[in-house]
Structure 1
Amino acid sequence: MIKKIHIIGSIGSGKTTLAKQLATELKIPHYELDNIVWERHPDGDKKRSITARNALLEKTIQKEAWIIEGAHHTWIAPSIEKADLIIFLDTKLTTRKRRILTRFIKQKLNIEPANYQPTLKTLRFLYQYNTIFENEAKPEILTLLEPYKEKVKWIQTPKELRTLIKPDT
């Protein structure tokens, strides 16, 4: 039985939505890598030290079951190694940008909660990061995942995702 799942992909690829859905269906706790990197405070986030971040990731992956998701890839090797299943969400760049804009609007209208202050500067950064992800991070992630290819599911389309979630349909 799959008890440890790592979901990786760019901003707006559907990682959090998928993680929440799987967490509910499988009754497994869900952890966002951003919350491992950042200490959340009402007056603003504070970045954890590398040592504290790595210790928190290690504590998380020692649990019996987990779903970890995020766009981070340079320091996540321990969770990739321990995962029973790795899902790489490789959604089209145009889809991700549309989702980022939709999320931004919902956060500005207080329809959707945000872990960060939704500003135009943040929106611009998220758009820029998506291009960087496509050109730089994605090849690095593919290299990182190569030794684990037997447990990687590379999802590029909504149909592939539906098949992964509900294989009988």
Structure 2
Amino acid sequence: MEDKLQPALHNKIYIIGSVASGKTTLAKKLSNLFDIAWHELDNVVHIRLPSGDVRRFPAERDFEFNKIISCDKWIIEGVFRDCFNEGFDKSDTIILLNTPPYKRKCRIAKRWLRQRLKLEKSNYVPTFKILLRMYKWSNGFEKSKDDILKILEPYKDKVIILSDNTDMINN
């Protein structure tokens, strides 16, 4: 993996992909490897409270995001959102996880079941409704993938497209 990403050249890494594509797992691995803090975009969009998530106002969300991308080193991961496009400009490397839909669907089911059984921590209550939403979001990624690729076109020199997070982790 170090041949693909040298820390001195890749201090600002932006990872995007569908729900259950492996973004968080990859971000954690790269964070440990390069000793760079990683940030979940869901935590920029939402304030996490014991009573449930509260969506930040756009100005607050943008302030939190700009705090992160103004740092010298960062790894951010999340689903594609237009409001975070400035991160593409500021990043050294953009990783698009293009994990196959069948693999994401299996991961969604496994994650949801592990969270229901309290074997895995969750930032949300793992209800049946959220399970259906995750499948919907996964399908939405497939429908929007061409648009995302067009948005990434100006950054093609710093884009890495992986079919799975293990493509980079295991190499």
- Same fold judged by TM-score > 0.5? yes
Structure 2 portions without partners, runs of 5+: 1-7
Q: Is the 8 A contact 1:8 1:71 kept in 2?
A: yes
Aligned partners of 1:7, 1:151: CA distance in 2, in Å?
Answer: 12
The question of 1:116 aligning with 2:124 is answered yes
Shifted more, 127-136 versus 92-101: the winner is: 127-136
Q: Distance in 1 between matches of 2:81 and 2:99?
A: 17
Q: State the Cα deviation string for residues 119-143 of structure 1 (Å, max 9, x = none).
A: 000000100111111012x122111
1:24 corresponds in structure 2 to 32
The answer to whether the aligner puts 1:152 opposite 2:159 as a matched pair is: yes
Look up the equivalent residue of 1:22 and give its one-letter code. L
What are the superposed Cα offsets for residues 94-144 of structure 1, whole Å, 9 maximum, x if unpaired? 0001001100011111111001110000000100111111012x1221111
Contact 1:88–1:153 (CA under 8 A) maintained in structure 2: yes
Give the alignment's Cα RMSD to 1 decimal.
1.3
Q: What one-letter code is carried by the residue in structure 1 that aligns with 2:167?
A: E
How far the C-alpha of 1:75 sits from its partner, in A, is 1.3
Correspondence for 2:147: 140
Match of 2:12 in 1: 4
What TM-score do you get using the length of structure 2 for normalisation? 0.91
Q: Which runs of 4+ in 1 moved over 2 A?
A: 157-162
Consecutive unaligned residues of structure 1, counting only runs of 5 or more, are: none
Highest RCO, 1 vs 2 (Cα 8 Å, sep ≥ 6):
2
Letter matched to residue 148 of structure 1: Y
Look up the equivalent residue of 2:29 and give its one-letter code.
Q
| Structure 1 position 34 matched with structure 2 position 68 | no
**When the two structures are superposed, what TM-score results if normalisation uses the length of structure 1?**
0.92
Identity %: 41
Q: Which amino acid aligns with 1:140?
A: D
